[in-house]
């Protein structure tokens, strides 16, 4: 059975003192009071050309919704950027499959119908 080697005998980098070991419960955490700045990236700001047919179809449906249907409904989105802008960005960045999943997840969290 091997004997325990004291920490001071373990090799360390030249010129550096051996590391101090502190128990996990002795670690203190300081709370910082900082202002949180949220940066929104609206999909309308970036007019990128997308080559994927599915993404173009989804974006055209979202643009139709924003142009024709959204003005008729009361503003009920609780997020900035709005859910439609978020979904446009998600489709451009991740494609149809993951963009649809992210959009559905966002709509479930937003709950625009109040159900």
Query: What percentage of the chain reaches a pLDDT higher than 90?
Result: 39
User: By C-alpha distance, which of 53, 58, 108, 46 is closest to 87?
Assistant: 58
Instruction: Inform me whether the pLDDT recorded for 55 exceeds 80.
Output: yes
Report yes or no on whether pTM surpasses 0.75.
Answer: no
3-state secondary structure at position 76: coil
Residue 74: predicted pLDDT: 85
What residue segments make up the domains of the chain, in order of their start?
A: 76-114
pLDDT average, residue stretch 84-108: 95
**Chain mean position to CA 27:** 29
Give the whole-angstrom CA distance, residue 34 versus residue 64: 40
The predicted-structure confidence for 14-32, as pLDDT tens digits, reads as follows 555 555 554 444 444 455 5
């Amino acid at each position: 059975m091997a004997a325990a080697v004291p920490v001071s005998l373990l090799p360390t980098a030249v010129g550096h003192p051996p590391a101090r070991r502190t128990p996990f419960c002795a670690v203190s955490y300081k709370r910082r009071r900082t202002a949180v700045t949220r940066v929104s990236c609206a999909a309308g700001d970036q007019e990128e050309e997308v080559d994927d047919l599915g993404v173009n179809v989804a974006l055209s449906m979202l643009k139709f919704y924003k142009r024709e249907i959204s003005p008729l409904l009361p503003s009920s989105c609780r997020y900035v950027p709005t859910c439609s802008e978020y979904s446009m960005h998600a489709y451009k960045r991740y494609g149809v499959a993951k963009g649809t999943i992210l959009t559905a997840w966002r709509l479930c969290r937003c709950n625009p119908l109040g159900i």
